[in-house]
């Protein structure tokens, strides 16, 4: 099994990292410092296959990288980790470019909308990596177990590399995602990032975050 680096120590990084360890992967959680309390606590809770370090450590260790950072800092995180450390690797980008400056609900950061996406900007920053946008349209518990949505939902993915998308699809299957639609190249991440406002409004209207989208054909 390939080694995995998780960038980010929040709820999403914790949930993703924990599930991957349970599936048998070796996982390192990366943060700004090697002494991050959340990362160390996660490591201690998850046994010998779990480790913690800096963003750079995670980038060097992982053959597959999960971007679980906040969208507004994602590019800075990749720069801190060393862009060259991602060369030839698959990056699973599940971050959303949300602006919380005006409170809830957040809006999309203006430069990421109909004509651009965070997924594209990461790919531009890391031209020798293979960025795949997926899992950004559900909450973190549904990310790692599609059945928690209450059904058999649809997951989208976007990316330039067919090989990387096949690698990501295998992990999505392990997360119980069976209905997966490949939207095309990384520019199609604009569509899934723009789904977030709908997801947020639905969550606020229903008070229930355990749902997902389904394409009925």
pLDDT digits (tens, 9 = 90+) for 15-57: 999 999 999 999 999 999 999 999 999 999 999 999 999 999 9
Residue 114: per-residue pLDDT? 83
* Phi, psi at 77, each rounded to 5°: -65, -45
Q: CA–CA separation, 10 vs 122, rounded Å?
A: 20
DSSP string, 57-89: HHHHH-SEEEE-S-GGGHHHHHHHH-GGGGTT-
**DSSP SS3 for 210:** coil
- 108-130 residue pLDDT tens: 877 777 899 999 999 999 999 99
The Cα–Cα gap between 87 and 65 comes to 11
Per the CB < 8 A criterion, the answer to whether 161 and 75 are in contact is no
Say if residue 104's pLDDT is above 90. Answer: no
Is the pTM of the predicted complex or chain greater than 0.85? yes
Residue 217 pLDDT grade (very low, low, confident, very high; cuts 50, 70, 90): very high
From 82, 85, 122, select the one nearest 3 (Cα to Cα). 85
Q: pLDDT band at 169, cuts 50/70/90? A: very high
**Structure confidence by residue, pLDDT tens digits, 54-83:** 999 999 999 999 999 999 999 999 999 999
Coil, helix or strand for 54?
strand
With a cut of 90, say whether residue 205 has pLDDT above it.
Answer: yes
pLDDT tens, position by position, 180-203: 999 999 999 999 999 999 999 999
What pLDDT, on the 0 to 100 scale, is given for residue 10?
Answer: 96
- Residue ranges per domain, the chain? 4-206
Q: In this predicted structure, what is the pLDDT of residue 153?
A: 98
More confident residue, 203 or 98: 203
Q: Which helix (H) or strand (E) is 22 found in, with range? A: helix 11-22
Mean pLDDT of 103-112: 76
Task: Check the CA dihedral 81-51-157-190 and report its sign.
Answer: negative
Taking Cα atoms as reference points, which of 41, 45, 44, 50 lies closest to residue 9?
41
pLDDT recorded at residue 112: 76
Residue 182: which residues within 8 A CB-CB, separation 6 or more?
156, 157, 158, 165
Q: What is the pLDDT of residue 44?
A: 97
Distance of CA 43 to the CA centre of its chain: 19
Considering the domain delimited by 4-206, tell me its CATH architecture.
Answer: 3-Layer(aba) Sandwich (3.40)
């Amino acid at each position: 099994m390939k080694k995995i680096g998780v960038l980010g120590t929040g709820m999403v990084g914790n949930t993703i990292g924990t599930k991957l360890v349970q599936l048998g992967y070796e996982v390192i959680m990366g943060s700004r410092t090697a002494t991050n309390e959340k990362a160390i606590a996660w490591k201690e809770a998850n046994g010998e296959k779990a480790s913690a370090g800096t963003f750079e450590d995670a980038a060097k260790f992982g053959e597959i990288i999960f971007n679980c950072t906040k969208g507004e800092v994602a590019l800075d995180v990749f720069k801190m980790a060393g862009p060259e450390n991602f060369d030839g690797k698959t990056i699973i980008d599940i971050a959303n470019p949300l602006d919380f400056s005006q409170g809830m609900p957040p809006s999309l950061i203006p430069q990421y909308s109909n004509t651009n996406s965070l997924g594209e900007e990461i790919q531009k920053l890391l031209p020798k990596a293979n960025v795949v946008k997926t899992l950004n349209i559900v909450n973190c518990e549904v990310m790692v177990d599609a059945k928690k949505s209450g059904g058999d939902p649809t997951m989208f993915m976007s990316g330039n590399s067919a090989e990387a998308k096949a690698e990501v699809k295998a992990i999505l299957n392990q997360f119980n995602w069976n209905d997966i639609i490949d939207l095309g190249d990384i520019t199609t991440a604009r569509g899934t990032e723009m789904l977030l406002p709908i997801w947020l409004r639905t969550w606020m209207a229903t008070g229930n975050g355990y749902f997902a989208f389904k394409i009925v054909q």
